[in-house]
Structures are given as structure tokens and as C-alpha cells.
């Protein structure tokens, strides 16, 4: 899958941990940076998965017919 999605997932997890800590331990200053990391990490993870052609949704997908020379081979 590559390094980027792993890093993005890590950032997301750190963000989620920070936010949870802020909420459950009543340390409000941790919530905003945690949420921001969650947002950035989540978005980054989405983009990097898309870039690696990972399909998130089930189901068949349509493809173009092969070119005639490709079909011949």
C-alpha cells in the first residue's frame, strides 16, 4: 500500500487519541488540535488511497473495451 497511507492513518489515530483525551479527561485545549489532526489525517488517507487505486466501495465497475491491438495480444 505504501508509506503515505500508513503515515496518514497514523496522523488520524494520533488526532483521534488527542481528541478523545481532551473530551474524556476534560482537557479542552487538546480537542482542537486533535480534531484538526483527525481532519487532515483522514483527508490525507482518503487521497492517498484514491491515488493508489484502492476501491472502497463494493460492486462491479465498468471498464473500457480493450483496444483492438491489445485484444489481439
Partner 1 sequence: VPTREIGWNVSEVAFAAMYLLVAVQALVLGYAFARRYLMWRRGRPFGPIDRIGERARQALAVAFLHRRLIRPGYVYAGLMHLFIFWGFVVLFIGTVIVLLEADIARPYFGVSFYQGTFYVVYKIVINFFGLLFLIGLLMAVYRRYIQHLPKFKRNLSDDAIVLGILLFLAITGFLLEALRLSATRDPAAPVHWVAYPLTLLLNGVDPAALAGAHSVTWWSHMLANTALLVYIPVSKLAHMFTGPANVFFRARDPRAALPLIANIEEQEHFGVAKLDDFSWKQLLNFDACMRCGRCLDFCPTFNTGKPLKPRQLIVEIGSYMNRQAGLLAGPAGPRIDEAGVRGNDLVAANEPTLAQVPVIANLIGDIVSEDELWDCTTCRACMEQCPVSIEHVPLIVEMRRNLVLEQSKFPQELVTLFNNLERNSNPYSFPASSRADWAAAAGVQELSQVEDPSSLEIVYWVGCMSSFDARNQRVATALAKIFTAADVKFAILGKEEGCSGDPARRAGNEYLYQILAQTNIDRLNQYQPKRIVASCPHCFNTLKNEYPQLGGNFDVIHHSQFVQELIDAGRLQVPPGTLDGHGMAYHDPCYLGRYNEVYDEPRDVLTRVSGGFVELPRCRDRGFCCGAGGARAFMEEKRGTRISHNRLNEAIDTDANGVAVACPFCVTMFEDGVRALNVEERFAVKDIAEIVAEALAPVPT
Binding of residue 55 to partner 1 (CB under 8 A): yes
Binding of residue 45 to partner 1 (CB under 8 A): yes
Residue 34: Cβ-neighbour burial (10 angstroms; 0-12, 13-18, 19+): buried
At 55, give phi and psi (nearest 5°).
-95, 125
Of 2 and 43, CB closest to partner 1:
43
Query: Which residue ranges make up the site for partner 1 (CB under 8 A)?
Result: 12, 15-16, 19-20, 23-24, 28-29, 31-32, 34-35, 38-47, 49-51, 53, 55-65
Amino acid at each position: 500500500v505504501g508509506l503515505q497511507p500508513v503515515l496518514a492513518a497514523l496522523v488520524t489515530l494520533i488526532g483521534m487519541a488527542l481528541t478523545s483525551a481532551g473530551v474524556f479527561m476534560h482537557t479542552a485545549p487538546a480537542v482542537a488540535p486533535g480534531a484538526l489532526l483527525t481532519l487532515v489525517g483522514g483527508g490525507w488517507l482518503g487521497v492517498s488511497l484514491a491515488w493508489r487505486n484502492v476501491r472502497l466501495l463494493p460492486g462491479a465497475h465498468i471498464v473500457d473495451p480493450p483496444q483492438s491491438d491489445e485484444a489481439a495480444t
